[in-house]
């Protein structure tokens, strides 16, 4: 996933990206630094210093809140996360000139219909008197309003793609998209609450109350089906067959061309709400009835045009419980080698959509069968190959625990999703020793490389990578592998997220139930047998005695410059 090629997807999106947990800290406690008691302590009057020092112990020894401490590695990871958030914010600010500034959307009241204007409503029967193929009550009323208003102004307009497919399967669509013969500027002229987005291909977003958006696209044609202009370079040499990868998709077309340019027959269905009938240019109804996923056109060509269709087919098969037609599956196997040619960011987003959809276990099994995990998630592929059947059982148990949470309606941060799938790899490999350059402890090298690759080539926000890294580090304390001495660990901003990952670990492995129950009850579990602590490598940790400051007239006489030196342990413990 290191290819720098940036490719815009050729097919009309049939489903918008599913609800994603916020990557920022807008809905959770701010992820600022873990408080250091030494830095927070206010300056004390000299008369009170001796009394405060009578205990002879360092401020870090918090007897009333004894428990696991935020270890040095987690403190360093917290600082790295803060730096990542600042870096992402700066990058977003610098990219402001390239990105479209969101316009303020003013929802104006709908105009009063004219006296001779027909009422906007979807019929419940067709012209022949038969019931409408899809009950209007099952459709989104605002999407219907958009379709009927476009009809009213003389344009073709249909509900398209995933919403039609899901309604015919008896499922509730997540969103409703519209395709029309109207050009983007014409759509904006019809709807007051509309703005255009996109640079290379304009789309119209029609806004409604509650933040709902109905996306309206103009019919497009597949550029590979267009006849080359006479005399065009390569027109007579058939060069188009040598490299089928689509790098542009900006051509307006007809409704039939728009249906044919889509990826799979089940996504090429249109619904004419004004007539109450399904329009099927690609025999999608047949494949829905037979429960098959089949490409529109030659599967070899369609998969080579856009190898990301491999991931889309896997997602639909897992989500809708459909089978992949044999020729389509064979074409997917052959196109796996072309996945590195796609934009890494697009591959990563499609991979996350698989995980967010609550079907990560069956989807990842299918990707493994296609031998595509070596490109999408190399550490997972390596783990499955090295650990055989037992490794597969463990990994997919984690995926199933994650799917159970998502299917129950929990909205999980991308960092939690990724960390949960990486826990088995993290448990199987030792962490990397502390880097001399970065001064921080690490998770296993393969995970470090994966996260760094996602950030560098796939545009994963660095804060997501650092969150994932921290959640994996914190599992060592939650499981009792590392033990420290203060309660700051429980107050860490990512404690709840780390505990969620640990909960799924317990569900997947059956291990650590007592520790989990203790954490959830607000208690500190007993240390695990052989648990490691920060001082294990150097023998038992000695409590540091604070060096007393001498009272004086401020000249420093007798005290020298000792107040500027760090407190000492060992030989300095009895000074003063």
Q: What CATH code is carried by the domain that includes residue 414?
A: 1.10.3090.10
222-240 pLDDT per residue, tens: 776 655 544 444 444 444 4
Catalytic: which of 88, 166, 249, 263? Answer: 263
- Co-location of 266 and 409 in the same domain: no
CA distance 298 to 327: 9
Residue 356: inside a domain, yes or no? no
Q: How confident is the model at residue 568 (pLDDT cuts 50, 70, 90)?
A: very low
CA distance 442 to 447: 9
177 is catalytic: yes
CA distance 410 to 402: 10
- Co-location of 425 and 277 in the same domain: no
Q: Which CATH number belongs to the domain containing residue 259 in this structure?
A: 3.30.460.10
> What element of type H or E holds 193?
none
Q: How confident is the model at residue 245 (pLDDT cuts 50, 70, 90)?
A: low
Q: Which two tokens stand for residue 243?
A: 């490299």
CA distance 495 to 497: 6
Q: What is the mean predicted confidence (pLDDT) over 8-37?
A: 42
Would you call 205 helix, strand, or coil by DSSP? strand
pLDDT for the residue numbered 529: 64
Segments forming the whole domain that contains residue 461: 390-431+439-522
> What element of type H or E holds 511?
none
- Checking if the pLDDT of 417 tops 60, the result is yes
Residue 6: inside a domain, yes or no? no
CA distance 342 to 352: 16
Angstrom distances, CA of residue 564 to CA of 190, 568, 575: 72, 12, 15
Answer with the residue of higher pLDDT: 482 or 321.
321
pLDDT for the residue numbered 368: 96
Q: Which two tokens stand for residue 301?
A: 């060509």
Q: Which two tokens stand for residue 49?
A: 């210093």
Q: b/e per residue, 97-106, with b = 16+ CB within 10 A?
A: eeeeeeeeee
Catalytic: which of 166, 175, 258, 272? Answer: 175
Q: Which of 196-210, 481-495, 497-511 holds the top average pLDDT?
A: 497-511
Residue 533: inside a domain, yes or no? no
Length of the chain: 576
CA distance 389 to 467: 30
Would you call 482 helix, strand, or coil by DSSP? strand
- Co-location of 273 and 157 in the same domain: yes
Q: What is the mean predicted confidence (pLDDT) over 376-390?
A: 93
Angstrom distances, CA of residue 116 to CA of 113, 284, 304, 481: 8, 38, 52, 76
Residue 567: inside a domain, yes or no? no
pLDDT for the residue numbered 70: 53
Of 290, 280, 355, 372, nearest to 323 by C-alpha is 290
CA distance 558 to 551: 9
Q: b/e per residue, 160-187, with b = 16+ CB within 10 A?
A: bbbbbbbbbeeeebebbbbbbbbebebb
pLDDT for the residue numbered 491: 85
Of 232, 275, 241, nearest to 124 by C-alpha is 275
> What element of type H or E holds 105?
none
Torsion, Cα 397 398 401 402, to 10 degrees, reads: -140
Whole-angstrom Cα Rg for the chain: 30
Q: What is the mean predicted confidence (pLDDT) over 549-570?
A: 47
Residue 179: inside a domain, yes or no? yes
Is residue 3 packed enough to be buried (19+ CB in 10 Å), middle (13-18) or exposed (0-12)? middle
Residue 20: inside a domain, yes or no? no
- Co-location of 282 and 422 in the same domain: no
- Co-location of 124 and 266 in the same domain: yes
**216 near 206, Cβ under 8 Å?**
yes
88 is catalytic: no
pLDDT for the residue numbered 526: 78
170-181 pLDDT per residue, tens: 999 989 999 999
Catalytic: which of 88, 166, 177, 413? Answer: 177
Q: Which two tokens stand for residue 101?
A: 């500034």
In the sheet that holds 269-272, the strands lie side by side as 194-197, 203-207, 213-218, 177-180, 157-160, 269-272, 277-280
pLDDT for the residue numbered 279: 96
Answer with the residue of higher pLDDT: 72 or 429.
429
323 is catalytic: no
H-state helical runs in 217-283: 255-260
- Co-location of 278 and 423 in the same domain: no
CA distance 539 to 488: 23
Residue at token pair 């995970």: 447
Lowest mean pLDDT of 213-217, 295-299, 442-446, 502-506, name the range. 442-446
- Co-location of 130 and 266 in the same domain: yes
Would you call 321 helix, strand, or coil by DSSP? coil
Q: Are strands 157-160 and 177-180 parallel, antiparallel or unpaired?
A: antiparallel
CA distance 282 to 269: 8
Residue 372: inside a domain, yes or no? no
The domain tally of the chain equals 2
Residue 341: inside a domain, yes or no? no
- Checking if the pLDDT of 17 tops 80, the result is no
């Amino acid at each position: 996933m290191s290819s720098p090629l940036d490719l815009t997807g050729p097919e009309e999106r049939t489903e918008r990206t599913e609800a994603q947990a916020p990557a920022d800290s807008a809905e959770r406690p701010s992820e600022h630094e873990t408080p250091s008691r030494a830095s927070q302590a206010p300056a004390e009057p000299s008369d009170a210093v001796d009394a405060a020092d009578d205990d002879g112990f360092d401020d870090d020894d918090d007897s009333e809140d004894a428990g696991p401490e935020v270890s040095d590695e987690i403190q360093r990871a917290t600082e790295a996360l803060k730096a990542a958030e600042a870096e992402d914010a700066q990058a977003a600010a610098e990219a402001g000139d390239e990105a479209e500034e969101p316009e303020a959307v003013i929802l104006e009241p709908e105009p009063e219909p004219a006296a001779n204007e027909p009422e906007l409503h979807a019929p419940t029967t067709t012209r022949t008197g038969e019931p409408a193929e899809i009950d209007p009550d099952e459709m989104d009323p605002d999407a219907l309003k958009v379709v009927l208003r476009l009809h009213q102004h003389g344009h073709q307009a249909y509900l398209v793609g995933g919403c039609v497919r899901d309604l015919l399967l008896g499922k509730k669509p997540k969103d409703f998209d519209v395709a029309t013969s109207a050009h983007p500027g014409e759509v904006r002229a019809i709807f007051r609450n509309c703005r255009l987005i996109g640079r290379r291909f304009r789309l119209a977003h029609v806004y409604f109350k509650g933040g709902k958006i109905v996306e309206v696209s103009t019919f497009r044609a597949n550029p590979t089906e267009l006849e080359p202009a006479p005399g065009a370079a390569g027109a007579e040499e058939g060069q188009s067959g040598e490299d089928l990868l689509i790098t542009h998709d900006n051509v307006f077309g007809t409704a039939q061309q728009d249906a044919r340019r889509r990826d799979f027959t089940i996504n090429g269905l249109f619904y004419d709400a004004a007539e109450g009938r399904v329009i099927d240019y690609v025999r999608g109804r047949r494949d829905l009835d037979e429960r098959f996923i089949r490409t529109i056109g030659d599967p070899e060509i369609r998969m080579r045009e856009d190898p990301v269709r491999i991931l889309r087919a896997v997602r639909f098969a897992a989500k809708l419980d459909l089978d992949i037609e044999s020729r389509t599956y064979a074409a997917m196997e052959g196109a796996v080698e072309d996945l590195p040619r796609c934009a890494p960011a697009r591959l990563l987003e499609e991979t996350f959509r698989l995980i967010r959809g609550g079907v990560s276990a069956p989807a990842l099994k299918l990707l493994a069968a296609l031998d595509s995990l070596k490109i999408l998630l190399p550490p997972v592929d390596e783990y499955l190959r090295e650990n055989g059947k037992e490794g597969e059982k463990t990994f997919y148990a984690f995926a199933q625990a994650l799917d159970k949470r998502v299917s129950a309606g929990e909205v999980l941060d991308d960092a939690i999703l990724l960390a949960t799938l990486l826990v088995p790899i993290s448990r199987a490999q030792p962490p990397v020793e502390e880097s001399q350059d970065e001064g921080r402890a690490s998770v296993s090298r393969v995970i470090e490389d994966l996260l760094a690759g996602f950030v560098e080539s796939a545009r994963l926000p660095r804060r997501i990578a650092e969150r994932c890294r921290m959640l994996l580090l914190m599992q060592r304390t939650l499981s009792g592998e590392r033990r420290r001495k203060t309660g700051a660990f429980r107050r860490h901003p990512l404690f709840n997220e780390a505990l969620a990952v640990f909960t799924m670990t317990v569900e997947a492995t059956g291990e650590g139930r007592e520790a989990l129950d203790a954490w959830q009850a607000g208690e500190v579990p007993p240390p695990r047998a052989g648990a490691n602590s920060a001082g294990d490598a150097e023998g038992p940790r000695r409590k540091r005695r604070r060096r007393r400051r001498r009272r004086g007239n401020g000249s420093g006489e007798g005290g020298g410059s000792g107040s500027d030196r760090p407190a000492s342990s060992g030989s300095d413990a009895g000074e003063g």
